Amino acid sequence: MDKRKDQSPLWDVTRLRAQFPILGRTVHGKPLVYLDNAATTQKPLRVLERLDRFYREENANIHRGLHELSERATADYEAVREKARIFLGAKEASEIVFTRGTTEALNLVAATFGRSRLKAGDVVLVSQMEHHSNIVPWQMAAEACGARLDVIPMSDTGELLQNEYEKRLTPEVKLVAVTHVSNALGTVNPVLEMIRSAHARGIPVVVDGAQAVPHLAVDVVAMDCDFYVFSGHKVYGPTGAGVLYGKHEHLEAMPPYQGGGDMIASVSFGGTKFKKPPHKFEAGTPAIADVVAMGEALDFVRETGRERIAAWEGELLAYGTERLMGIPGLRLIGTAAHKAGVLSFILEGIHPHDIGTILDREGVAIRAGHHCAQPVMERLGIPATARASLALYNTREDLDALVGALNRVREVFR
């Protein structure tokens, strides 16, 4: 392998990879090539150490304890709220609600903000490329209120049809829910323009940022979205922790999502008074250690530099696209002009599950299936795709290994 392939003015890739212990392991006797980052990213040592240190040195419940450990854990937990505020460019830390991840955040908004706004005959507008997590909660809210969903169609290349979007912004639409970056296709949607169009008609917008924050710098104030959500585990943090950003006025008006300890100001059998946001949405003991470690991951991304991350991954995406297009019988799925981090494809005559299984034996980890985006597959007339997805620690050598393994797949099915 020509090591010069992965020399970059952006950073020392070898030194960067050394921060991720799992990347040094083998799978089936082969060096691990991890290309399933859209499902979850690997964790740098500093995140693992922060998680370990919390349990070794600080473990206590938060907000209610008067002892040293509780006060320290509370301070560390709440410090992450400010880190998330900075990470998203929000105005106030009180606009940051901790959740278990993107799915819970979307369910929270649908069950509170959504149901309080919807009535019979109203419409929630979603796109054809949404993850199931940004479809099913809205279906449930709409069904409960007598509302319905309408869908923004997409082109064969995997781009939303903006003229069709504008047509669908009718007076019946009470909310738009759209992904920033498609997990199945890698398409980067023009959310800034979409939000402006919706707001011109008084329609609030919820943005699913799960696949965007690992790859792009996000500024929710400049974007002017009403809600923005992401998962910590997609951005080099632990599972079980995520973020919901909501404009202050919305969070103030929304009812609590769950009831229990820590989200109350006072309780009696005659009634309950709730805390102000964000705490009224955080019932019970949260994933304290995971939130604290997520804060370390946000620091890692910020210090690495999101502009540098985007530039490096852009180079990898271009290189990977060129290499894959040279494989006979391979067709890329999702060829939008503006993409981030995803290479979905099919091989003629070979099921994606077979591709994924054989690649695994070669040490190459990808995803195969519908990627919780079945409407995308239905629109494109395919049952599934194989998906290689990129992260900041990937290299051109990883993509060469993918191509080599795919050629072995072709030999097996020749």
**Residue 245: pLDDT over 60:** yes
> Is residue 173 located within the same domain as residue 286?
yes
- The pTM of this model reads 0.96
Whether residue 225 lies in the annotated active site? no
SS3 call for 346: strand
The percentage of the chain sitting over the pLDDT mark of 70, rounded to a whole number, equals 98
Helix axes 45-53, 288-304, angle to 10 degrees: 150
**Residue 98: pLDDT over 70:** yes
pLDDT at residue 1, as a whole number: 40
> Is residue 32 located within the same domain as residue 101?
no
**Residue 387: pLDDT over 70:** yes
> Is residue 227 located within the same domain as residue 81?
yes
Tell me the residue range of the domain where 33 lies.
3-43+305-412
Q: How far apart are CA 340 and CA 63, in angstroms?
A: 39
The two tokens of residue 345 are 């494809």
Split at pLDDT 50, 70, 90, the class of 247 is very high
State which of 303, 321, 345 marks the end of a domain. Answer: 303
The two tokens of residue 333 are 């799925």
> Is residue 154 located within the same domain as residue 253?
yes
> Is residue 207 located within the same domain as residue 293?
yes
> Is residue 130 located within the same domain as residue 267?
yes
Q: Which of the residue ranges 60-64, 111-115, 123-127, 360-364 would you say has the lowest mean pLDDT?
A: 60-64
State which of 303, 333, 354 marks the end of a domain. Answer: 303
**Residue 10: pLDDT over 80:** no
SS3 call for 356: helix
**Residue 3: pLDDT over 80:** no
CATH of the domain at 149: 3.40.640.10
> Which of 23, 136, 372, 382 is the catalytic position?
372
Domain count, the chain: 2
Q: What is the mean pLDDT of residues 357-383?
A: 96
* Neighbour-count burial of 347, counting CB atoms closer than 10 A to its CB (0-12 exposed, 13-18 middle, 19+ buried): buried
Largest CA distance in the chain: 74
CATH of the domain at 341: 3.90.1150.10
> Is residue 272 located within the same domain as residue 326?
no
pLDDT tens-digit profile of 338-355?
A: 999 999 999 999 999 999
pLDDT at residue 7, as a whole number: 58
